[in-house]
């Protein structure tokens, strides 16, 4: 694998800037800028929850696979952009797909250039879990393509059309538009029910997996520890205020009690990966979504079948 030094990447960035001003960048300036851009790179990866160890050398310098050089350059150039500021602070929730698309694309190129196999798969899944960009992409497609197309087609079909003006009066078109609206509402109602069914099916799986995990560790003589998935652990530590009630319940603390020690324990768990007093870490090695949970397509098709059966049953009754 051909590598490029971080110094050379920064040098290219500085040279591209200097071309516009027609002067040559001295090496001491490049070295100084390399230190600054190294800090930028560290902040970007830290915010995206990507380990620096993948790209650090023994001397704590950075080496980047040649195929990811342009992606790293672009990440550094986007350092001061509004979306990157949010990502550097791990604040992904309010970013749109369009805002994060380029950054996520560069991060994926970087990961794929250095990692492979299960490690690559887990990092890509973690990135998708944290930033939710596949979901945001789907929502964006719905908004920009399907919904806009629906409205456009409805207007073309039922508003201004010379043929319609001859065949349908205003009352005809008004009632048809209301029927169209009812059909859309019916579709949304069906989607809500399918979502409920999918949630019920997933809950059954989660309970089953939880029961198996409990059974696996019931022989332990010490206090039974609460299993917590590494992705869930990351979420709790990022937004602890949202999980205070759940954390108290997990460890049997009374309402209103201080959970500072519990948060410290969870941080220790994240760092050490070893069991603590109340918790044990569950990783994708022993609780893989792909291995333990139903395939998403199969699950949703199953939910749709259940929903359609409900409709048929209601029609019969």
Q: DSSP letters along 110-171, please? A: HHHHH--HHHHHHHHHHHHHHH-HHHHHHHHHIIIIIIHHHHHHHHHHHTS-HHHHHH--HH
Instruction: Compute the mean pLDDT over every residue in the chain, rounded to the nearest whole number.
Output: 81
CB-CB neighbours of 248 under 10 Å: 17
Residue 289 pLDDT level (bands cut at 50, 70, 90):
very low
Q: CA 297, 195, 317: angle at the middle one, nearest 5?
A: 105
* pLDDT at residue 54 greater than cutoff 50: yes
pLDDT tens for each residue of 11-44: 888 888 776 655 677 888 888 888 899 999 999 9
């Amino acid at each position: 694998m051909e590598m490029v030094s971080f110094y050379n990447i920064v040098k290219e960035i500085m040279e591209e800037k200097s071309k516009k001003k027609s002067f040559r960048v001295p090496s001491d300036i490049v070295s100084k800028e390399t230190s600054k851009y190294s800090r930028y790179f560290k902040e970007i990866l830290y915010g995206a929850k990507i380990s620096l160890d993948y790209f650090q050398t023994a001397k704590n310098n950075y080496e980047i696979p040649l195929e990811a050089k342009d992606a790293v350059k672009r990440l550094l150039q986007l350092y001061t952009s509004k979306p990157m500021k949010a990502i550097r602070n791990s604040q992904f929730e309010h970013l749109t797909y369009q805002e994060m698309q380029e950054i996520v694309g560069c991060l994926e190129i970087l990961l794929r250039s250095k990692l492979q196999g299960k490690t690559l798969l887990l990092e890509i899944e973690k990135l998708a879990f944290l930033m939710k960009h596949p979901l945001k992409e789907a929502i964006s497609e719905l908004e920009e393509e399907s919904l806009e197309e629906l409205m456009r087609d409805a207007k073309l079909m039922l508003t201004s059309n010379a043929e319609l003006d001859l065949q349908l009066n205003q009352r005809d078109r008004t009632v048809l538009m209301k029927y169209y609206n009812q059909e859309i509402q019916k579709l949304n109602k069906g989607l809500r029910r399918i979502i409920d069914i999918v949630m019920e099916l997933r809950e059954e799986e989660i309970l089953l997996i939880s029961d198996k995990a409990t059974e696996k560790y019931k022989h332990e003589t010490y206090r039974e520890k609460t299993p917590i998935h590494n992705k869930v652990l990351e979420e709790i530590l990022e937004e602890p205020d949202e999980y205070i009630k759940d954390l108290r319940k997990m460890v049997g603390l009374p309402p209103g009690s201080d959970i500072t020690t519990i948060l410290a324990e969870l941080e220790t768990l994240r760092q050490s990966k070893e069991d603590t007093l109340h918790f044990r870490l569950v990783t994708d090695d022993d609780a893989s979504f792909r291995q333990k949970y139903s395939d998403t397509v199969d699950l949703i098709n199953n939910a749709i079948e259940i929903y359609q059966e409900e409709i048929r049953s209601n029609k019969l009754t």
